[in-house]
Amino acid sequence: MPASELVEVERILFLLVHGVTPGRFEAVVRAVEAFTPRMEVVSPGRLMFAMRGPARYWGGEEELARKVRSAVGDALSCQIVRHQEVEKGGGAHRDEIDIGPERAGVGVAGGSFAAELAALKAIENGGESSILIPESEIEAFLAPFPIGVLQQPELVGVLLRLGIETLGDIVALGRAPMLERFGEQGRASWLLASGQKAHSLLYEVADPQLEVVAEVDPPAAQVEAAAFVARSAAERLGSQLSRSGLACTRLTLTVETEHGEVHTRCWYDRNSFTPAMVVDRLRWQVEGWISGDESNRPTGGVALLRLVPEEVVRVVAAPSLLGGSSLRGWGGAGREPDERASRAVARLQGLLGPGAVRVPHRQGGRSPQDEFKWISWGQQETRKPWAPWPGRLPSPSPAVIHDPPVPTEVMDRTGRRIRVSARGEMTGRPHQMVVGEARIRIDQWAGPWLLDERWWDEETRRRQARFQFVDQYGRAFLVVLESGVWSIAAAYD
């Protein structure tokens, strides 16, 4: 498939509706569909389309924006709640038109990032007018926005600490420093902030053979049952794509009922879809369909799902600036060793599956096996701020962790098993450890360190006595007694 770099000064119309439910939004989507066939729903309340063709047809950008805004207003005002108040004594009526909590705004600008912000501004201004930003004014328009709109929490956190608060500040910093200091993420953010380019992704039209069709048998009367099938279909699609080193940024989801009714929606996410995201969208789509326009509602259960990737992106992972890595296709040139590493990882994952390559994730805990876990490269987990946990064993930490722990017996000089009371009193001094056939003489020892975790919950309570034992060869072990059973939890290899 030919790859073409998206020319990102494309004029985009972005429609933002705050406070709308998927059902209500369905009516809005139908209304906008009248203006252009190729429209993308980002999420309930957010949709966009490229202006160029439709604007020509409908009489120019301003005219089209006005028409869209008014059509949306009509669609939303379908359900007007009318209050009647009877005033005492006067008998006068008063109609109160409550058009619901939704507020809509239309923004037009070069690129979806700026267009969405323009739509946001339109809502703030009262929502009756649309906001169109000419190319020449885009940098000035974007400058005062806070950097939070970039939706890159880690980068934003760092920038805030450096005193950079607005998009204008980022632009003032300069493209080269942003690239140098923050890598590809920094460069892309600078481009966004200056209104020049939204992405440097390489988009490709997807191979039609990549579509996934899933039958729902028996037909699902509940959304959840359909969601369940959608999830495995999405996972299938995801692994097919990742095998070719691709991720999907635009997906057409078709839902068919047992009576042959069909509902199709095109979803877009610049950061590419995960199975969980696909399931969310299926839910929105079905909810919207069920609660939308009466003449169009489904009459049976969901019998078929079709997932068609419309647009895919080459996955070139770049490590995020504060560690961990993300499979977001930032593309372009990053640091060469980082690029090389990500390409190799993408290749290995393609050949061996997504779990084949993992990276450390700090999660905190009191035992060596709890402090860190391995997560798949590309998996996003929230990073918790790390602070040493009370009750944690002192460093140095063991280099080898036995999971599950290795059963052992710890005995005193007379050969009797050592027991430890809840207060840490021992029935003897550790002399020997038996592991399988081997007898290990304990030359040095320290402990016990008592652990009583979740003492309030009988089921998950964990009480341990932990020791460090050193054998005659200078090999040290972390040995644990729990519920009367000894085991080697780790080795200080």
Partner 1 sequence: MFDNLGMGVLSETVGSDLGAAGGSCLPAIPETIGTRDRPMLKVTDALGPLLPLGAIPGGSVVSVTGVGACSSLALALVAGASRDGAWVAAVGMEHLGLAAAEEMGVCLDRFVLVRDEDPSRRPMLMSTLLDAFSLVIVPTGPSVRARKARTRTWGQWMGADGFRRVSARVRERGSVAVLIDGPGGEASSLGYPSPDRVGASGGERGFLGGSDLVLRVLEASWTGPDEGHGALQHRQVEVEITGRRAASRPRRGRLLLPGPSGEVCLAASGEDGADARQRAG
**355 binds partner 1 per the rule CB under 8 A:** yes
**Interhelix angle 61-76/22-33, nearest 10 degrees:** 140
Of the candidate residues 87, 336, 425, 459, the single one contacting partner 1 (CB under 8 A): 336
Judged by CB under 8 A, does residue 345 bind partner 1? yes
Q: Which is nearer to partner 1, 290 or 359 (CB)?
A: 359
Q: Which of 306, 314, 402, 431 binds partner 1 (CB under 8 A)?
A: 402
The answer to whether 436 contacts partner 1 (rule: CB under 8 A) is yes
446 binds partner 1 (CB under 8 A): yes
Check residue 341 for interaction with partner 1 (CB under 8 A).
yes
Near partner 1 by CB under 8 A: residue from 150, 371, 420, 480: 371
Cα–Cα distance measured from residue 201 to residue 412, given in angstroms and rounded to the nearest whole number: 66
Per-residue x/- marks for partner 1, 407-426, CB under 8 A? -x-----------------x
Question: Rounded to an integer, what distance in angstroms lies between the CA atom of residue 11 and that of residue 80?
Answer: 34
Closer Cβ to partner 1, 213 or 352, answer by number:
352
One residue of 87, 94, 438, 456 binding partner 1 per CB under 8 A: 438
Q: Does 400 participate in binding partner 1 (rule CB under 8 A)?
A: yes
Q: Please select the residue that binds partner 1; options are 12, 17, 193, 357, rule is CB under 8 A.
A: 357
CB nearer to partner 1: pick between 89 and 396: 396
Q: Rounded CA gap, 235 and 388, in Å?
A: 37
User: Does the protein bind partner 1 through residue 236 (CB under 8 A)?
Assistant: no
The partner residues of 445 in beta bridges, in order of sequence, read: 469
Compute the distance between CA of residue 346 and CA of residue 325 in angstroms, rounded to an integer.
Answer: 12
Tell me the C-alpha distance between 100 and 103, whole Å. 9
Q: Residue 196 or 397: which CB sits closer to partner 1?
A: 397
What radius of gyration, in Å, describes the C-alpha atoms of the chain? Answer: 30
**Cα 400–chain centre separation:** 32
Q: How far apart are CA 111 and CA 148, in angstroms?
A: 18
Nearer to partner 1, 9 or 348 (CB): 348
- Which H or E run contains 444? strand 438-453
Q: Hey, how many other C-beta atoms are within 10 angstroms of the C-beta on 124?
A: 11
Q: Is the dihedral of CA 50, 56, 61, 65 positive or negative?
A: negative
> Binders of partner 1 among 447-486, rule CB under 8 A?
447-448, 468, 470, 473-477
**How far, in whole angstroms, is CA 100 from its chain's centroid?**
30
Q: Which stretch binds partner 1 (CB under 8 A): 173-181, 266-274, 333-341, 450-458?
A: 333-341
343, 383, 431, 463: residue in contact with partner 1 (rule CB under 8 A): 343
Of 307 and 465, CB closest to partner 1: 465
CB neighbour list of residue 52: distance below 8 Å, 6 or more residues apart: 10, 11
Query: Taking CA 380 as the corner, what is the angle to CA 310 and CA 44, rounded to the nearest 5 degrees?
Result: 50
Does 181 bind partner 1 (CB under 8 A)? Our answer is: no
Q: What span, in angstroms and rounded, lies between the C-alpha atoms of 184 and 49?
A: 27
Binding to partner 1, residues 300-319 (CB under 8 A): 319
Q: Which is nearer to partner 1, 385 or 474 (CB)?
A: 474
Q: Do strands 131-132 and 212-220 pair parallel, antiparallel, or not at all (unpaired)?
A: unpaired
Residues near 329 by beta carbon (within 8 Å), at least 6 away in sequence: 201, 202, 247, 272, 313, 314, 315, 316
Size of the site for partner 1 (CB under 8 A): 65
Please report, as a single letter, which amino acid is at residue 157: G
H-helix or E-strand spanning residue 236: helix 223-243
Q: Is 347 in the site for partner 1 (CB under 8 A)?
A: yes
Member of 435, 450, 453, 463 binding partner 1 (CB under 8 A): 435
Query: How many other CB atoms are found less than 10 A from the CB of residue 322?
Result: 13
Using CB under 8 A, pick the residue from 395, 414, 460, 483 that binds partner 1: 395
Q: Which of 308, 440, 465, 480 binds partner 1 (CB under 8 A)?
A: 440
Q: Which amino acid is at 400?
A: V
Site for partner 1 contains 344 (CB under 8 A): yes
Residues binding partner 1 (CB under 8 A): 319, 322-324, 335-338, 340-341, 343-345, 347-348, 351-352, 355-360, 362, 368, 371-372, 374, 377, 393-403, 406, 408, 426, 429, 435-436, 438, 440, 444-448, 468, 470, 473-477, 488, 490-493
